[in-house]
């Protein structure tokens, strides 16, 4: 008898942006409830999820490779072994995509949260998982997460999961870290600070020829709910009001210019477009293509 399959082929999806190829790599997903949401009526949030045929919060975790002008960057690194056993598959899926982590010369971080920066370092031996990469992020990120005064004021969970986890993951790269405020940070990639979720939270705009892709980081964590209620935030937003303002600004920017988007918590493979619907927004996944030149 032929056995039935029990596992997916690892999650890897390529998208061409002009001369650049962006590859979505799945780190897996994180299940949870909606109690971590803020500034939203939870009854209404549950209703939105039910109507989208998603009875609970299942958060995709994605990272993106950028192949540009003979170089390769990775945007974020997934969650390593810090969160749930359903995530932490970046290295496995890089291998499945035929990518040698040694050939990645730049890690662009959207921010220092464990589902983004906890795949930088193998803590069992302290070795960098991207041994030849320069670590690049907004200057506000280490300034915030390495601030002992801020850490003292944080609760136990965020002290461990955000401050300490961020520090131990980033520290092995301290002699190869480049901090920015804005501007071009990699060939064809411009940093678009979108502050609030964390003090240095940054989106990255990939542009080549007439094509653009906005990798918008953690602009949303629960896509269905936050496009319906853009003011809805998360308990772990450093600044809820600033995060909501940045989210609305980003929503309006990508709608007005009809920019293709990708996000760390959009459902894999994440390439989507956003449209305005009155005071709310609607998200549309892009159709899948096999041949990269067919887009």
By CB under 5 A, name the binding residues for Zn ion: 115, 218
Indicate the Cα dihedral angle 228, 248, 76, 85, nearest 10°.
-30
- What is the SS3 assignment for 143? helix
Q: How far is the CB of 160 from Zn ion (least distance, A)?
A: 17
Which of 62, 51, 47, 56 is closest to 10 using CA atoms?
62
Q: How far is the CB of 98 from Zn ion (least distance, A)?
A: 27
Q: How far is the CB of 272 from Zn ion (least distance, A)?
A: 17
The smaller minimum CB distance to Zn ion, of residues 188 and 199, is found at 199
Length, in residues, of the chain: 295
How far from each other are the two terminal CA atoms of the chain, in whole angstroms? 40
The smaller minimum CB distance to Zn ion, of residues 20 and 220, is found at 220
Which of 81, 82, 26, 13 is closest to 58 using CA atoms?
26
Q: How far is the CB of 70 from Zn ion (least distance, A)?
A: 30
Q: How far is the CB of 127 from Zn ion (least distance, A)?
A: 24
> Tokens 């999820």 — which residue?
49
The smaller minimum CB distance to Zn ion, of residues 93 and 198, is found at 198
User: Would strands 211-215 and 202-208 be described as parallel, antiparallel, or unpaired?
Assistant: antiparallel
The smaller minimum CB distance to Zn ion, of residues 20 and 65, is found at 65
> Tokens 């293509």 — which residue?
289
The smaller minimum CB distance to Zn ion, of residues 54 and 71, is found at 54
């Amino acid at each position: 008898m032929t056995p039935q399959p029990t596992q997916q082929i690892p999650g890897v999806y390529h998208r061409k942006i002009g001369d650049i190829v962006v590859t979505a790599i799945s780190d897996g997903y994180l299940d949870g409830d909606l109690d971590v949401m803020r500034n939203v009526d939870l009854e209404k949030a549950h209703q939105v999820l039910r109507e989208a045929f998603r009875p609970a919060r299942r958060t995709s975790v994605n990272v993106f490779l950028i192949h540009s002008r003979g170089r390769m960057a990775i945007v974020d690194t997934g969650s390593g072994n810090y969160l749930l056993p359903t995530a932490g598959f970046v290295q496995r899926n890089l291998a499945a995509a035929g990518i040698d982590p040694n050939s990645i010369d730049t890690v662009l971080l959207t921010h220092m949260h464990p589902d983004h920066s906890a795949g930088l370092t193998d803590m069992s031996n302290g070795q960098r998982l991207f041994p030849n990469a320069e670590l690049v992020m907004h200057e506000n990120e280490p300034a915030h997460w390495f601030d002992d005064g801020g850490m003292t004021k944080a609760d136990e969970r965020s002290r461990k999961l955000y401050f300490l986890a961020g520090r131990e993951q980033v520290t092995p790269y301290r002699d190869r870290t480049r901090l920015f405020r804005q501007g071009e940070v990699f060939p064809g990639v411009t940093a678009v600070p979108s502050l609030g979720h964390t003090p240095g939270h940054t989106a990255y705009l990939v542009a080549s020829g007439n094509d653009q892709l906005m990798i918008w980081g953690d602009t949303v964590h629960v896509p269905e709910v936050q496009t319906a209620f853009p003011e809805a935030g998360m308990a772990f937003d450093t600044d809820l009001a600033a995060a909501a303002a940045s989210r609305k600004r980003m929503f309006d920017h990508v709608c007005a210019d009809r920019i293709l988007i990708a996000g760390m918590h959009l459902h894999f493979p994440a390439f989507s477009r956003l449209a305005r619907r009155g005071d709310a927004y609607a998200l549309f996944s892009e159709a899948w293509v096999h041949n990269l030149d067919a887009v």
